[in-house]
Structure 1
Amino acid sequence: MTIKITSATFSACVVGKDGIPADNLPVIALVGRSNVGKSSLINCITGRRELARTSSLPGKTLTINYYCINEEFYLVDLPGYGYAKASKVTKQRIQNMMNEFFAESKNLKGVIQVLDVRHKPSPLDAQMQGWIRDQKLNSLAVLTKSDKLSHQQVLKMREAIAKDLKIGFSMVFSAKTAIGKEDFLDAIEKVLAGLEIKGVEGKGRKPQSQPRQNAERSRRGGAPAGGRPDQSGDRGRRPSGRPERGPAPGKPADKPGEKQSDKQTDKPADKPKVQPSTSPETPGQAPEPRPGQSRRRRWKNRKKQPET
Structure 2
Amino acid sequence: MKITAAVFHACVTSLDALPPEKLPVVALVGRSNVGKSSLINTLVGRREMAKTSSTPGKTLTINFYLINDQFFLVDLPGYGYSKASKVTRQRIQKMMDEFFDGFAKIKGVIQILDSRHPPSTLDQQMHNWMAERGFPLLAVLTKMDKLTQQQVPKMKRQLLSDLGETCGILFSSKSKQGREEILDSLDCLFKNGNFDRSDRQSGRGERPSGRGERPSGTQQGDGRLRQRRRGAGSQGGRPGRQSAERQPSAKPSNDRTQPQTQTQTQAQTQAQTQAQTQAQT
Whether these two folds match at TM > 0.5 is: yes
Q: Output the CA distance in 2 between the equivalents of 1:71 and 1:139.
A: 23
Cα deviations by residue, 1:248-288 (Å, 9 ceiling, x for unpaired): xxxxxxxxxxxxxxxxxxxxxxxxxxxxxxxxxxxxxxxxx
Give 1:199 shift.
4.6
Is the Cα contact below 8 Å between 2:188 and 2:196 reproduced in 1?
no
Q: For residue 146 of structure 1, what is the aligned residue in structure 2? A: 144
Q: For residue 22 of structure 1, what is the aligned residue in structure 2? A: 20
Give 1:9 shift.
0.5
4+ aligned runs moved over 3 Å, structure 1: none
Q: Output the CA distance in 2 between the equivalents of 1:30 and 1:193.
A: 19
Match of 1:119, SS?
coil
Q: Output the CA distance in 1 between the equivalents of 2:67 and 2:128.
A: 28
**Matched AA of 2:35:** G
Q: Output the CA distance in 2 between the equivalents of 1:18 and 1:105.
A: 11
**Matched AA of 1:98:** M
**Matched AA of 1:56:** S
Q: Output the CA distance in 2 between the equivalents of 1:73 and 1:18.
A: 20
Gaps of 5+ in 1: 201-308
Match of 2:27, SS?
strand
Q: For residue 108 of structure 2, what is the aligned residue in structure 1? A: 110
Q: For residue 121 of structure 2, what is the aligned residue in structure 1? A: 123
Q: For residue 159 of structure 2, what is the aligned residue in structure 1? A: 161
Percentage identity across paired residues of the two chains? 56
Match of 2:17, SS?
coil
**Matched AA of 1:125:** D
Is the Cα contact below 8 Å between 1:7 and 1:69 reproduced in 2?
yes
Q: For residue 285 of structure 1, what is the aligned residue in structure 2? A: none
Match of 1:66, SS?
strand
Q: For residue 203 of structure 1, what is the aligned residue in structure 2? A: none
Give 1:191 shift.
1.5
Match of 1:18, SS?
helix
> Quick one: which of 83, 86, 91 aligns to 2:84?
86
**Matched AA of 2:129:** W
Match of 2:15, SS?
coil
Give 1:115 shift.
0.1
Q: Output the CA distance in 1 between the equivalents of 2:194 and 2:94.
A: 29
Is the Cα contact below 8 Å between 2:188 and 2:197 reproduced in 1?
no
Q: For residue 37 of structure 1, what is the aligned residue in structure 2? A: 35
Q: Output the CA distance in 2 between the equivalents of 1:109 and 1:198.
A: 14
Give 1:135 shift.
1.2
> Quick one: which of 187, 190, 194 aligns to 1:189?
187
Give 1:167 shift.
0.9
Is 1:7 aligned with 2:5? yes
Q: Output the CA distance in 1 between the equivalents of 2:194 and 2:2.
A: 20
Q: For residue 222 of structure 1, what is the aligned residue in structure 2? A: none
Q: For residue 237 of structure 1, what is the aligned residue in structure 2? A: none
Cα deviations by residue, 1:162-199 (Å, 9 ceiling, x for unpaired): 11111111110001100000000001111222433235
Is the Cα contact below 8 Å between 2:108 and 2:194 reproduced in 1?
no
> Quick one: which of 66, 69, 73 aligns to 1:68?
66
Structure number with larger C-alpha Rg: 1
Residues 221-260 of structure 1: pairs in structure 2 closer than 5 A: none
Q: Output the CA distance in 2 between the equivalents of 1:79 and 1:140.
A: 18
Q: For residue 171 of structure 1, what is the aligned residue in structure 2? A: 169
Cα deviations by residue, 1:225-248 (Å, 9 ceiling, x for unpaired): xxxxxxxxxxxxxxxxxxxxxxxx
Residues 205-224 of structure 1: pairs in structure 2 closer than 5 A: none
Is the Cα contact below 8 Å between 1:10 and 1:68 reproduced in 2?
yes
**Matched AA of 1:141:** A
Is the Cα contact below 8 Å between 2:119 and 2:159 reproduced in 1?
yes
> Quick one: which of 86, 95, 99 aligns to 1:101?
99
Match of 1:36, SS?
coil
Count of aligned pairs? 198
Q: CA RMSD in A?
A: 1.0
Give 1:155 shift.
0.7
**Matched AA of 2:7:** T
Q: Output the CA distance in 1 between the equivalents of 2:45 and 2:172.
A: 14
**Which 10-residue stretch deviates more, 110-119 or 163-172?**
163-172
Is the Cα contact below 8 Å between 2:21 and 2:103 reproduced in 1?
no
Match of 1:44, SS?
helix
**Matched AA of 1:105:** F
Is 1:48 aligned with 2:50? no
